Amino acid sequence: MKIGILSFRSLNRQASEEEIELKKQAKARGHIARIFRAAKFQLVYDRESPWFFYNGKPLKKYDVMITRPAVVRDVDLSIALIEQLEMAGIPLFNNYHSILKAKNKIKTTQILDHYGIPLPKTVVIHRPEDVAQAAKMVGGFPVIVKNPFGSFGNGVTIIESMRALNSFLVWDKPLYLLQEYVKYSKGKDMRVFVVNGKVVGSMMRSAKKGEFRSNIELGGIGAPIEPTPEEIAIAIRSVQALDLHYGGVDIMRSKTGPVVLEVNSNPGFKALETATGVSVAGAIVDYAVEFAERHYSYVSQKIEE
Ligand SMILES: Nc1ncnc2c1ncn2[C@@H]1O[C@H](COP(=O)(O)OP(=O)(O)O)[C@@H](O)[C@H]1O
Ligand SMILES: [Mg+2]
């Protein structure tokens, strides 16, 4: 198979370790693999032309694209490419709709709540008049404030007082999530990696000293852990609720049981591979191939009918 890995990193940065590992695992399985950089695509709207140019040349056909949408700003705009690839009939792994849902923490919260998945108490606020009441509703200070489009811990802040909260919030930004601070977990949370409806690996992340966020990018340390059956079920349901083919679910152990913080559609996995020895990239490639094979057999079946 020809497997594309679609990277959304800016061109002044090299491909990520994850993207390189996905390519390596695809090649190790006898596939052709190539990392594509989103910024080198041109979308062409001319009935005479192919739809995509890559690096100035028409894009050759790839059987499946593994998307790595590390987009933080202008999400809708950045993933126009993903949408366009999907419309051109290329199976995407994760696809457009699931990425849109997972990139927006408000959408994620809505959907997970709808499916009955336990979450920390959360209030979406968009005007100063509601702040005091919202802070009370999530259990008082300290509270967690989240920017709907943050990742790597950027955009997640702990606020200790009403005065600090009022001076932190800037109202030219449309929306914030105000969230209950899950104190019980003491700066630890779990990253549970789900591929093809199964947990392939999990680690406990501990925040570094002086930090409450456990993100590896912020110096958090990962150690292998065996999630409980309840945590496994919650992780799998969360990924399925968002229709993701693969995802990393952040789960905290709270006083009342596990709660989901977020679901990542572009989860890092190098730290998880190091902590657990599991080839997450291998699992993603295997499922992408299986998924694409199913897709094409379905399409050819349709044509024969
Ligand atoms: N409600 C919360 N209570 C305590 N810690 C939290 C809470 N929400 C997030 N954190 C900490 O902040 C980190 C980043 O938050 P998360 O929602 O996963 O956003 P990001 O997309 O930036 O990773 C989490 O891994 C966790 O360590
Ligand atoms: Mg996270």
- Ligand 1 close to Cβ of residue 156 (< 6 A): yes
Query: In this structure, is residue 134 part of a structural domain?
Result: yes
Q: Is the Cβ–Cβ distance between 91 and 31 less than 8 Å?
A: no
Number of domains in the chain: 3
pLDDT tens figures, 200-241 = 999 999 999 999 999 999 999 999 999 999 999 999 999 999
Q: Between vectors from CA 27 to CA 23 and to CA 33, what angle results, nearest 5°? A: 55
Tell me the percentage of the chain whose pLDDT exceeds 70: 97
Considering the domain architecture, whether residues 189 and 174 belong to the same structural domain is answered as no
Provide the token pair at 209.
Answer: 């000293």
Q: What pLDDT band is residue 3 in, cutting at 50, 70 and 90?
A: very high
How far away, in angstroms, is 261 Cα from ligand 1 center?
A: 6
The confidence score (pLDDT) of residue 251 equals 98
Query: Which range, of 66-80, 143-157, 170-184, 207-221, averages the lowest pLDDT?
Result: 66-80
How far away, in angstroms, is 153 Cα from ligand 1 center?
A: 7
Residue 85 has pLDDT above 70, yes or no: yes
Q: What is the mean pLDDT of residues 182-191?
A: 91
| Long-range CB contact pairs, 57-63, < 8 A, 24+ | 60/2, 61/2, 62/2, 62/3, 62/4, 62/34, 62/90, 63/1, 63/2, 63/3, 63/90, 63/91, 63/292, 63/296
Q: Between vectors from CA 119 to CA 269 and to CA 235, what angle results, nearest 5°? A: 40
pLDDT tens figures, 151-172 = 889 999 999 999 999 999 998 8
Pocket test for ligand 1, best of 146, 261, 265, 272 (most atoms within 8 A of CB): 261
The string of DSSP letters for 100-111 reads HHHH-HHHHHHH
Ligand 1, atom 26, lies closest to the CA of 213
pLDDT tens figures, 24-45 = 999 999 999 999 999 899 998 8
Q: In 3-state terms, what secondary structure has residue 221?
A: strand
Q: State the residue range of the domain holding 238.
A: 185-284
What CATH number does residue 229 fall under?
3.30.470.20
Query: Considering 164, 180, 196, which residue would you say is the last residue of a domain?
Result: 180
Considering the domain architecture, whether residues 16 and 91 belong to the same structural domain is answered as yes
How far away, in angstroms, is 182 Cα from ligand 1 center?
A: 9
- Ligand 1 close to Cβ of residue 189 (< 6 A): yes
Q: What is the rounded average pLDDT for all residues in the chain? A: 93
Find where tokens 């902590």 sit.
275
Q: Which of the ligands is closest to the CA of residue 212?
A: 1
Q: What pLDDT band is residue 76 in, cutting at 50, 70 and 90?
A: low
> Beta partners for 92?
65
Provide the token pair at 277.
Answer: 């020895």
Provide the token pair at 93.
Answer: 């792994």
What CATH number does residue 14 fall under?
3.40.50.20
Query: In this structure, is residue 29 part of a structural domain?
Result: yes
Q: What is the mean pLDDT of residues 262-272?
A: 94
Q: What share of the chain is helix, strand, coil (3-state, %, to 5)?
A: 35, 25, 35
How far away, in angstroms, is 262 Cα from ligand 2 center?
A: 6
pTM of the predicted protein model: 0.94
